[in-house]
Amino acid sequence: DTAVSQTPKYLVTQMGNDKSIKCEQNLGHDTMYWYKQDSKKFLKIMFSYNNKELIINETVPNRFSPKSPDKAHLNLHINSLELGDSAVYFCASSQDDLIMNTEAFFGQGTRLTVV
């Protein structure tokens, strides 16, 4: 079973549209994230949720709205898509333990192309 799964893997859409990317993890983790990898291959965190609550929002435009219906899911909804939103979006999860450090598990990515 895939630990962190994202759908769709590829998404091509026109400017101005609204789209969603879904993410699910079956690891029992309580923290989930969205990262964006742009054309220059830099990976940057966008959001972090812990137990369904937002804990990190890295100055992402309001057009991006994460939604966490439960601990195992963190979906990313994007309104009014722009050309600059084209990138690969990665979902990740980890067990945020205040004592022990653990690693983050990443999904396979969603390649979003806005035309």
d(CA 115, CA 112) in angstroms, rounded, equals 10
d(CA 28, CA 37) in angstroms, rounded, equals 25
Residues 75-94: x where in contact with another protein by CB under 8 A, - otherwise, as a string:
---------------x-x-x
By CB under 8 A, the residues from 21 to 60 that bind another protein are 31, 33, 41-45, 48, 50, 55-56
- What Å distances lie between residue 110 and 3, 98, 102, CA to CA? 15, 30, 24
Among 69, 70, 99, 115, binds another protein (CB under 8 A): 99
Among 52, 72, 109, 113, binds another protein (CB under 8 A): 109
For residue 75 the two structure tokens come to: 């979906």
CB atoms within 10 A of CB 29: 20
Which parts of this chain interact with another protein (CB under 8 A)?
4, 31, 33, 41-45, 48, 50, 55-56, 90, 92, 94, 96-101, 103-109
